[in-house]
Structure formats: C-alpha cells, structure tokens
Amino acid sequence: MESCFSNAILNLENSCMENTDKIITALNSKIDTLKTTTNITKSQSNGYISILENKLHHLKDELSHDKSLLNETREQLRNTVTNANYAAETYENRLRDNNDEIQYLNLSVKELSCKLNISRDEIIKLKMQLATMTDSGPQFKANIPTSPSNNNPTVLLVGTSNTEGINVPKLTK
C-alpha cells in the first residue's frame, strides 16, 4: 500500500510537474509577447514623443517670432500715434494762429471801414462847403503844386493796389 501511495504521489507529482512546466512555458511565452509588445509600444511612443517635441519646438519658435513681430508692431504703432499727435498739435497751433490772425484782420477791417466812413463823411462835408463857397463867394483857384523838374502831368491812382496792368504812357497823353 505504501508503494501504491508512493506511486500515486509520484504520478501526481509528475503530472503536476508536467502541468507546471506547461504553465511556466505558457507564462514565459506570454511574458516574452508582452515584452515585445511593450518594446514596440515604447518605440512607437518614443517616435510620437519625438514628433511632439519637434512640434513643440516649432511652436515655440513661431511664438517667439510672433512675439517679436508683435513688439515691432507695437513700437511702430507708438511711433505712428506720437507722430499723429505731434501733427495734430502742430495743425491745432497753426489753426489757432490763423484764427487769431483772422480776428485781428477782422478788427482791422472794422476799424478801417469806420475810418473810411468818417473820411467819406468829411470829404462830402468839404465838397459841400466848397460848393457853397464857389456858389456864394468869390471864385478862387486852388493852388496845386507842380514839381519844377517835371512838367509832365501826373496821375494819382486812388483806391487800387493793382497797378501792374496800368499803362502809364497812355494816361499821360
């Protein structure tokens, strides 16, 4: 009986050993497959990581370039605004000066118009006095001075500043 038990234990042990060997072989095969899959996945992920790192580097370069362009654009915009403000200020000053000059000229025109009206009134009064003197009193001849060196008649043009188109010899004949 003992030998039967021993044989049964040996048979069981051999059968367990065979099953264990088969299981270990299957597990080792599975481990090798997983290692291969892991290595393939690692190499793929390393490739993806490399691609992503290259893209990141490219994006950083683009960002740096864009920042540089942004700073240049800001500086140009500041310069443009400064120039525009200076031009606006200059034009405002010119406009203010022109307005002041216009006001001064308007005042001068008013003063001269007033003086002209007064002078016209005086001329009219003097003409009326002269007319009343000649009508009622003795005749007198106005003493008009002539220059001794020039016996040619002269013409005094009153009321115009544009004398360029006037032909003087025609007036003296």
The confidence band for 173, taking pLDDT boundaries of 50, 70 and 90, is low
CA dihedral 15, 18, 20, 21 (to 10 degrees): 170
**How far is 86 from 92, CA to CA, in rounded Å?**
10
Confidence check: pLDDT of 48 > 70: yes
Please answer whether residues 151 and 157 qualify as being in contact, where contact means their C-beta atoms are separated by less than 8 angstroms.
Answer: no
Distances (CA, A) of 55 to 44, 97, 111: 16, 62, 82
Q: What is the dihedral of CA 159, 160, 161, 166, to 10 degrees?
A: -140
Residue 44 or 85, more confident: 85
pLDDT, tens digit (0-9, with 9 covering 90-100), for 67-109: 999 999 999 999 999 999 999 999 999 999 999 999 999 999 9
Report d(CA 110, CA 104) in Å as an integer. Answer: 10
The model carries a pTM of: 0.40
Rounded-to-integer distance, Cα 71 and Cα 82, Å:
16
Question: Residue 146: what pLDDT?
Answer: 47
In one-letter notation, the amino acid at residue 70 is L
Residue 5, pLDDT > 90, answer no
For residue 162, the model assigns a pLDDT of: 65
Question: Dihedral of CA 122/128/130/136: which sign?
Answer: negative
Q: What percent of the chain has pLDDT over 70?
A: 80
Task: Give 85 or 168, the one with higher predicted confidence.
Answer: 85
The pLDDT mean for the chain works out to: 82
Taking only the tens place, the pLDDT of each residue in 144-167 is 444 445 555 555 555 566 667 677
The percent of residues above 90 in pLDDT, for the chain, comes to: 45
CB 133 within 8 A of CB 142: no
pLDDT value of residue 11? 78
